[in-house]
């Protein structure tokens, strides 16, 4: 079931309704930015599209909740792309993240249209599968500022 939410009252009513059907699958397009508490109260969706910009702290919390996220205007996360991909790589759940800024980040770490399977870009290795560019983390870089192991890092975002 797909919901297009444009107003706070719609979101509040929908959250209350979805609590009665926890095993159903939903998709949502959110056309406004509610307060952080309301945004994080949205139950896990099969797919969620968030049009307004969100801050990076909220972004990481949403990443831990929802499987498929499309950020139409994600904000400035270029400095955090490594962490985003490392967190997604550490999670056993298959996830999809669509962001308009990803091409800038890919160019910044050396991935181009000429990159091919096996190329190494920083902490990531390029792999081709099903017409997708996969970049699983090779291993934590010794130069990483955060020594937290990836599974613990993902769990910390889930528990926020």
91 versus 135: which is more confidently predicted?
91
Segment 7-41, tens digit of pLDDT: 999 999 999 999 899 888 999 999 998 999 999 99
Among residues 99, 103, 145, 141, the alpha carbon closest in space to that of 122 is found at 141
30 versus 80: which is more confidently predicted?
30
pLDDT of amino acid 11? 95
Contact 47, 1 (CB under 8 A): no
pLDDT beyond 60 at 148: no
Residue 146: pLDDT band (50, 70, 90) is: very low
CA-derived radius of gyration, the chain:
17
């Amino acid at each position: 079931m797909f919901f297009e939410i444009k107003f706070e009252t719609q979101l509040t009513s929908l959250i209350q309704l979805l609590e009665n059907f926890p095993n159903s699958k939903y998709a949502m397009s959110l056309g406004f930015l509610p307060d952080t508490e309301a945004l994080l109260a949205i139950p896990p969706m099969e797919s969620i599209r968030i049009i307004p910009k969100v801050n990076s702290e909220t972004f990481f919390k949403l990443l831990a909740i929802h499987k498929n996220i499309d950020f139409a205007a994600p904000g400035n996360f270029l400095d955090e792309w490594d962490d985003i991909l490392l967190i997604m790589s550490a999670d056993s759940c298959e996830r999809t993240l669509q962001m308009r800024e990803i091409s800038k980040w890919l160019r910044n770490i050396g991935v181009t249209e000429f990159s091919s399977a096996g190329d190494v870009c920083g902490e990531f290795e390029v792999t081709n599968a099903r017409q997708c560019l996969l970049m699983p983390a090779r291993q934590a870089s010794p130069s990483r500022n955060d020594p937290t192991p990836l599974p613990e890092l993902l769990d910390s975002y889930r528990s926020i």
